[in-house]
Structure 1
Amino acid sequence: MQYYNQDTYIYLNGDFVKAASAGIDLFGQSLHYGYGAFEGLRAYSTHHGTRIFKAEEHFARLQRSCEAINLPYEWHNPHLISRTYELLEKNNLRAAYIRPLVFSGSNMHLTPATSSNIVIAAWEWGPYLGQNLLRVCTSAIQRPTPQSFPIGAKVSGQYINAILASSDAIKRGYDEALLLDQYGFVAQAASENLFIEKDSKLYTPPLADVFPGITRQTVIELCKELHVDVVEQKLTIQDILQADSAFLSGTAAGIIGIKEVDGVAYQEDWEHTIGASIQRKYKKLVLEEENYEVII
């Protein structure tokens, strides 16, 4: 169905403009229903030049996210990675945050998209949550359930959930929110995965209940190198409050320690925690100061 032609006007931000020249498709499911998928990658300035960390894994997850919601994905990932490097060069960016977004074509029905588009943007962006230890609170906003939504997909619409949780936490004077699952167990932060340290081990919620973060998996890989046990199990609020320390992980945020949860502060000095060791090792990894194979 054609929703507009060259003569159709729309009202946009105070002006009447032609729909065809508005610059965005105002009749797509992505805008109206949040029917889109996206990724977040980081490029780092290393001794070997600009490198995108785990580009293949991120674009593969973007493809899986589209497939999970029946959004056509007709691009070749190695080509997209190459074009992303070109984008960085054109914008003179050596270190940047990168956002690919796949969005639907014109369609106002609640049916699978028959066409899609991709846009890739990049900009300079420091650590999403800053660099100081975080004050975190539990949120009344619940993590979506696997039965209601493909929670392993990075889908645009589900991030309303994260916006509500994070904005409420900030209004209450905190830096970030922790979301519970439908059974009352701690799932993750609004847009980051959670790890806690207890008795020289790390614990993190199982994948069935959380977003499969690429940084989360990198943390687990780094723990193997450091001979640190990682236990994936359901965690209660009491588990979080009684831990020795805790931290969040994510591409935008990196590895960042938690100072307190719901006003209860961790007593262990962050610099002496496993999380701090992971944080230092992760930084060396993304800057290629340790052996790591980057596929361009």
Structure 2
Amino acid sequence: MSSNTNPYYNENTILYYNGKFKNASKVSTDLYGQTLHYGYGVFEGIRAYKTSSGTKIFKAREHYERLKKSCELIQIPFPYDIEELTQKTYELLALNHFSDAYIRPIIYCDPNMSLTKPNGVNIMICAWEWGAYLGDNLLNIFISSYCRPHPKSIKIEAKVCGHYINSILATSEAKNNGYDEALLLDSDGFIAEGPGANLFFEKDGELYTPQLGNILPGITRATIIELCQDLGIKLNQGLYKPHTLKNADAAFYCGTAAEVVGIKSINKQNFPLEWKDSLGKKLQTAYKNLVLKNELSTQTN
């Protein structure tokens, strides 16, 4: 890692690397690593929020458990203690004077040019101040010509570095065509998810979301499902074709980086329900109250 000016670190930034806190501009990595050459590594995206009771990492255990599970699914060793990683992450935030921050743990592999299990692994945890990944405005989305990888070709439920080439291609295609973000279908033509977020849509006062199997089981997605139960919102999980989404009343994306963000249109076709009147807006407010440990009820409109 060379010292330069970028949005993620500067000459004072501290990161956690293989058990020690180090200056980000002075840490280097091996150019022969399996992760660099083959994308054979796993990562997480986690958020910390400034709350009324101090800085709190939202669902830290769930994220680190998924990091461990991702490693297990693709046969990368995970010689780390989740409680210790959580504590080190809080220390990392304090060292960088961060209250609201995005946190990126990554486990990457030692040099190994063969297509075999790793010779050894490393862990790095960094953090930076980052707003909502997809912004705060309603999104115009585009059904991508790229589909999600077939679940028999990879471990679709693992958050693997190399999988995100698919996401980069889809997002780049959407932006090149004048849209804010993409929507990917699965290999059978059913709605899957966004490049970095899960999809929900509303029809006649009920919510719908693609079922597990061809999507990443998002932690924010699970949180939205919990909030639906709390708020008495009927939620359906299944297989849906694009025409079902195009006939919906409203829709939104959710993810750790994106949080909850409304969708204005799909392929230039606007959703008819005003965002302010949608279940998505209600859940956006409830989610924000939850992560901030707001004293307002999650049922606040």
* TM-score normalized with structure 2 length: 0.89
Structure 1 residues 203-256: Cα deviation after superposition (integer angstroms, max 9, x where no partner): 000011111000000000000011011100111111110000000000000000
Question: What is the match of residue 286 of structure 1?
Answer: 291
2:126 match: secondary structure: strand
What is residue 137 of structure 1 aligned with on the other side?
142
Q: Tell me if 1:224 matches 2:229.
A: yes
* Aligned match of 1:96: 101
Q: Deviations 1:102-134 (Å, cap 9, x if unpaired)?
A: 000121110011310000000000000000000
Which one of the candidate residues 237, 243, 246 is aligned to 1:238?
243
Structure 1 gap ranges (5+): 1-20
1:262 aligned partner, one-letter code: N
Distance change >3 Å, CA 291–CA 117, structure 1 → 2:
farther
Q: Is the 8 A contact 1:72 1:114 kept in 2?
A: no
Q: Does 1:29 align with 2:34?
A: yes
> Which shifted more, 106-115 or 245-254?
106-115
C-alpha RMSD of the superposition: 1.3
Who is 1:150 aligned against? 155
Q: Deviation digits for residues 159-204 of structure 1, max 9, x if unmatched?
A: 0000000011011110110001111111011110000001111000
2:132 maps to a residue whose letter is: P
1:122 counterpart = 2:127: yes
SS in 2 for 1:97: strand
Residue 66 of structure 2: which of 61, 66, 71 is its match? 61
1:266 and 2:271 equivalent?
Answer: yes
Q: Distance in 2 between matches of 1:101 and 1:159?
A: 14
Measure how far apart 1:22 and its partner are.
8.5
Contact 1:96/1:123 (<8 A) preserved: yes
SS of structure 2 residue aligned to 1:207: coil
Distance in 1 (CA, whole Å) between partners of 2:28 and 2:130 is 25
Q: 1:97 to 1:22 in 2, by over 3 A?
A: closer
Q: 1:84 and 2:84 equivalent?
A: no
Q: Percent identity, please.
A: 49
- Equivalent residues of 2:67, 2:159 under 8 A apart: yes
Whether 2:188 is the aligned partner of 1:183: answer yes
3-state SS of 2:36 partner? helix
| 1:160 pairs with 2:161 | no
8 A Cα contact 2:289 2:296, kept in partner: no
CA distance in structure 1 between the partners assigned to 2:296 and 2:153 by the alignment: 41
Moved over 3 A (4+): none
Measure, in 2, the Cα distance between the counterparts of 1:114 and 1:49.
Answer: 40
Distance in 1, Cα, partners of 2:159 & 2:38 = 15
CA contact (8 A) 1:71 1:114 kept: no
**Corresponding residue number in structure 2 for 1:46:** 51
Contact 1:44–1:286 under 8 Å retained in 2: yes
Equivalent position amino acid for 1:208 in 2: G
Distance (whole Å) between structure 1 residues aligned to residue 191 and residue 230 of structure 2:
27
Aligned residues: 272
